[in-house]
Amino acid sequence: RTPLALSSGWRRYCAAAATPTGDAVGEFRRRIRVAEVKGGEDQGAAWVGKELTVRGWVRTCRAQRTVTFVEVNDGSCLSNMQCVLTPETEGYGQIDSINTGASVLVEGVVASSQGVKQKVELKVSKIIVIGESDPTSFPIQKKRASREFLRTVAHLRPRTNTFGAVARVRNALAYATHKFFQDSGFIWVSSPIITASDCEGAGEQFYVTTLLSNSAEGGCLVNSIPSKDGRVDWSQDFFCKPAFLTVSGQLNGETYASALSDIYTFGPTFRAENSNTSRHLAEFWMIEPELAFADLNDDMACASAYLQYVVKYILENCKEDMDFFDTWVEKGIIDRLNNVAEKNFVQMSYSDAIKLLIGSNKKFEFPVKWGLDLQSEHERYITEVAFGGSPVIIRDYPKVCNAHFAVFNWFSKNLIIS
Amino acid sequence: RTPLALSSGWRRYCAAAATPTGDAVGEFRRRIRVAEVKGGEDQGAAWVGKELTVRGWVRTCRAQRTVTFVEVNDGSCLSNMQCVLTPETEGYGQIDSINTGASVLVEGVVASSQGVKQKVELKVSKIIVIGESDPTSFPIQKKRASREFLRTVAHLRPRTNTFGAVARVRNALAYATHKFFQDSGFIWVSSPIITASDCEGAGEQFYVTTLLSNSAEGGCLVNSIPSKDGRVDWSQDFFCKPAFLTVSGQLNGETYASALSDIYTFGPTFRAENSNTSRHLAEFWMIEPELAFADLNDDMACASAYLQYVVKYILENCKEDMDFFDTWVEKGIIDRLNNVAEKNFVQMSYSDAIKLLIGSNKKFEFPVKWGLDLQSEHERYITEVAFGGSPVIIRDYPKVCNAHFAVFNWFSKNLIIS
């Protein structure tokens, strides 16, 4: 297989700079990404007439009598670049290799598109098939595939619209998180992942150990685990005592907040809870801000400002991906996020919320009584009816409502005044 | 103990906005940080005459006949705010509580300082001691403390100059890393931490398990570990098979690069190697960029641009902390980093490097011969003498030099062309 040729700029550079004893390192190549062409307000109109090289993966290939349309996606955005090939195109002889999943390099000139789906397309002068794809075995074809099936081809699912969009939005949320806290003067602290602390019993922990090393063909022999008086001998483990995956960076974060004032952690945390719901994961990334010299009002203000910032960020920077979710995954998600981004947050105490619900004289399925948890129907009434779509923070939950501890934890735990 | 009073602005806001059913969430409080006052080019001169409230921790307190100087640090920068108290200062009666480690709120007016150490100081009109500190037991006093000792007071060491500076520089390096890759169109991928893959045997792995749960008082009984035919029964573990802490996000990153073109991982990775050197850690954060449609030249260009970007970033944004390191921790570090940031990177093959060393006719302690590793003295000759301080990338290492695989891995492994 032919390796990918260096871009010609690079080749010129190397030829000019070559000396017997050392070459300059070139400039950081800026491959043009489809997002840079089609991502702007004009959807690429400014590129019409310009030369462009795109590298990516074939989504579909439709051969017509005189032209062949190849949709190429490079993952920089949801949109493909529609590439128009004719028999005059250099490399047209490889047309049988241009199957879904193949990786290609296409060179050509950007032109206005006659199609309704895109403003511009690429009139291809040259195509190189970099990696072929066997159409009889490539598992991701144009039809929709279930997420369960895609799980079985985890090495290829990032090439689907859904997983690509998730990756881009997740990336934007992570970067917006750093931007928000950095711009507000917070310092990121990477709290330890392996720990001997259980962080106030925030959740079940995984053990981290080298005691189980596979010491025999066929698996770890139980009687090869170091023991003393019938018990596991931790003194022979890697850290010479039991060690766990962290359930929270909070304790570490607090020591830094008590020195650097405002810090945040953003890293993976772990729970060994055998609960298969959408609210439980064995591994997840968590953000834990710790504010020194702050009170509950500061915490609520920080949380509100943060949420509005990141939501605005993805609505502005991931428009195409969010439209995709709104159309195919969850109708109405953009309207709901716009409410979060645009409306003022409201806060009230749990007791006032109970009063409001009782005073509403609305018939709820679940009872409303001080000391009971708020159910989804109650929360929806408060946000959607009582406050016209504004996000609402309920503070001062009574201790008896244990189920809500985790959800509201963030707002109540950050009071550091000494 | 009196809780910290709300800032007066907040109190007004709440009083005005209070309604029986819901309060507005306030603006995100912007506590003024010492870095915002003293961090600029003028070292605070523009603040002279302005009112300022500082919250932080007392570093030292020097009582003179008519004035008392209190150095307050809030962790936003290395510099303290020198606070000048007189008997007229409100709260002066608490002067006996103003010991090293106490947390305080000081209000006053910024004034030009007579001292040589700072441009400005705070003439304090009011001081509140938020948290006291017992001078007989607070472990961090003005004298230098060894890092070994500070390890025993890990909850307080972030308040030292060294650990504070490390935290701020580390934060800046992490943020600059994200900024560099995001600005270059890379997408951050959070590769899984718990994994069943050993990533091409990159290193010894930790087991992640729930089989060892302490099932008895006094520790885990070996015979309570689920077993089958004398072997550990992985089917009863959390993931129903052996699971490990990741040694590298590479395999996961490659699947995303083969769909999104340019990605990077930046997260914790783990090695269960029992090796206590400065080059081995059980837990460390690693950056793994994966470039699609790239070759070794692109990789070298990317690595060089990245290094120069982050080094420039900390030299510009952490000047005070870097000066501190240059003075107290490693003399000459700023000059060395300036070389990295300013000089062009050079690249040459291993074979050319051997030729260059042999041709130098210099007497080295270790032999120079094709097939042998380069030693520090050789690397120093190449960078410092042959290329006048430029950073040098040695490419195309022969496979026989195994010791260098890890160091140069980054430059050779990222070739993805299909």
Q: B164-218, pLDDT tens digit by residue?
A: 999 999 999 999 999 999 999 999 999 999 999 876 666 789 999 999 977 667 7
The kind and range of the H/E element at B128 are strand B120-131
Which residues on chain A are in Cβ contact (under 8 Å) with B214? 242
CATH of residue B18's domain is: 2.40.50.140
Please state, in angstroms and rounded to a whole number, the distance separating the CA atoms of residues A273 and A284: 13
Which residues on chain A are in Cβ contact (under 8 Å) with B285? 190
Cβ of A35 within 8 Å of Cβ of B185? The answer is yes
Task: Give percent above pLDDT 90 in chain B.
Answer: 68
What average pLDDT does range A44-65 have in this prediction? 95
Q: Does A130 touch chain B (CB under 8 A)?
A: yes
Helices (H), A184-295: 250-260
Closest CA to B102 of B62, B131, B137, B67: B131
Closest CA to B252 of B308, B188, B301: B188
Adjacent-strand bridge partners of B285:
B268
Q: Does B383 touch chain A (CB under 8 A)?
A: no
Which residues on chain A are in Cβ contact (under 8 Å) with B14? 297
Examine the pLDDT at B80 and tell me if it is beyond 90: yes
- The set of residues, in sequence order, having a beta carbon less than 8 Å from that of A150 and lying 6+ positions away, is A140, A156, A157, A160, A163
Which residues on chain A are in Cβ contact (under 8 Å) with B234? 219
**Window B:337-366, CB contacts with A under 8 Å:** 344-348, 352, 356
Which chain B residue is nearest to residue A213, measuring alpha carbons? B207
Q: Is A114 within a domain? A: yes
pLDDT score recorded for residue B197: 82
Q: What is the pLDDT of residues B254-280, one digit of tens each?
A: 999 999 999 999 999 999 988 777 778
**Which range, A12-16, A383-387, B63-67, B78-82, is most confident?**
B78-82
Cβ of A4 within 8 Å of Cβ of B178? The answer is no
Helices (H), A222-264: 250-260
What is the average pLDDT value for chain A, to the nearest integer?
87
Handedness of CA A418, B5, B6, B9 (dihedral sign): negative
Examine the pLDDT at B100 and tell me if it is beyond 60: yes
pLDDT score recorded for residue B395: 87
Residue B268 has its nearest CB partner, among A212, A267, A393, at A267
Helices (H), B194-290: 250-260
Is B195:B174 a contact under the CB 8 Å cutoff? no
Q: Does B253 touch chain A (CB under 8 A)?
A: no
- The set of residues, in sequence order, having a beta carbon less than 8 Å from that of B69 and lying 6+ positions away, is B60, B61, B62, B82, B83, B84, B85
CA B323 to chain centre: 16
Closest CA to B263 of B272, B254, B274, B273: B254
Q: Does A240 touch chain B (CB under 8 A)?
A: no
Q: What is the pLDDT of residues B342-370, one digit of tens each?
A: 999 999 999 999 999 999 989 999 999 99
Examine the pLDDT at A10 and tell me if it is beyond 90: no
Please state, in angstroms and rounded to a whole number, the distance separating the CA atoms of residues A184 and A203: 30
Q: Is B3 within a domain? A: yes
Q: Does B53 touch chain A (CB under 8 A)?
A: no
Is A75:A55 a contact under the CB 8 Å cutoff? no
Q: Does A215 touch chain B (CB under 8 A)?
A: no
The residue with greater pLDDT, B372 or A159, is A159
Please state, in angstroms and rounded to a whole number, the distance separating the CA atoms of residues A98 and A285: 39
Which residues on chain A are in Cβ contact (under 8 Å) with B280? none
The tally of domains found in chain A comes to: 1
Examine the pLDDT at A2 and tell me if it is beyond 60: no
Examine the pLDDT at B37 and tell me if it is beyond 60: yes
What is the edge-to-edge ordering of all strands in the sheet holding A392-395?
A392-395, A346-349, B23-24
Residue B305 has its nearest CB partner, among A28, A213, A346, at A28
In this prediction, residue B415 has a pLDDT band, given cuts at 50, 70 and 90, of very low
Distance from CA of A87 to the nearest CA of B (A): 25
In this prediction, residue A198 has a pLDDT band, given cuts at 50, 70 and 90, of confident
Q: Is B416 within a domain? A: no
Which chain A residue is nearest to residue B192, measuring alpha carbons? A283
For A47-119, strand residue ranges (E) read 51-63, 68-73, 81-85, 103-112
Q: Is A95 within a domain? A: yes
What average pLDDT does range A215-234 have in this prediction? 87
Q: Does B78 touch chain A (CB under 8 A)?
A: no
Q: What is the pLDDT of residues A408-417, one digit of tens each?
A: 333 333 333 2
- The set of residues, in sequence order, having a beta carbon less than 8 Å from that of B183 and lying 6+ positions away, is none
What average pLDDT does range A289-306 have in this prediction? 92
pLDDT score recorded for residue A201: 67
Q: Is A23 within a domain? A: no
Q: Is A180 within a domain? A: no
CB atoms under 10 Å from CB of B117, counted, come to 10
What average pLDDT does range A47-63 have in this prediction? 96
Cβ of A387 within 8 Å of Cβ of B206? The answer is no
Q: Does A131 touch chain B (CB under 8 A)?
A: yes
CB contacts < 8 A (A, B):
352
Q: Does B236 touch chain A (CB under 8 A)?
A: no
Examine the pLDDT at B230 and tell me if it is beyond 80: yes
Domain that holds residue A64: 34-131
Please state, in angstroms and rounded to a whole number, the distance separating the CA atoms of residues B329 and B162: 9
Q: Is B95 within a domain? A: yes
Q: Is B353 within a domain? A: no
In this prediction, residue B162 has a pLDDT band, given cuts at 50, 70 and 90, of very high
Closest CA to B262 of A158, A176, A157: A158
Cβ of A193 within 8 Å of Cβ of B194? The answer is no
Q: Does A294 touch chain B (CB under 8 A)?
A: yes
What is the average pLDDT value for chain B, to the nearest integer?
87
Cβ of A346 within 8 Å of Cβ of B225? The answer is no
Token code pair at residue A196: 């001997």
Lowest-confidence range among A24-28, A132-136, B50-54? A24-28
Residue B74 has its nearest CB partner, among A4, A10, A261, at A261
Burial of A161 from C-beta contacts in 10 A (0-12 / 13-18 / 19+):
middle
pLDDT score recorded for residue B16: 37
DSSP percent split of chain A into helix, strand, coil, nearest 5 = 35, 20, 45
Q: Does B109 touch chain A (CB under 8 A)?
A: no
Q: What is the pLDDT of residues B244-258, one digit of tens each?
A: 999 999 999 999 999
pLDDT score recorded for residue A200: 64
**Window B:257-286, CB contacts with A under 8 Å:** 258-262, 267-268, 270, 272, 274, 282-283, 285
Residue B231 has its nearest CB partner, among A36, A219, A294, at A219
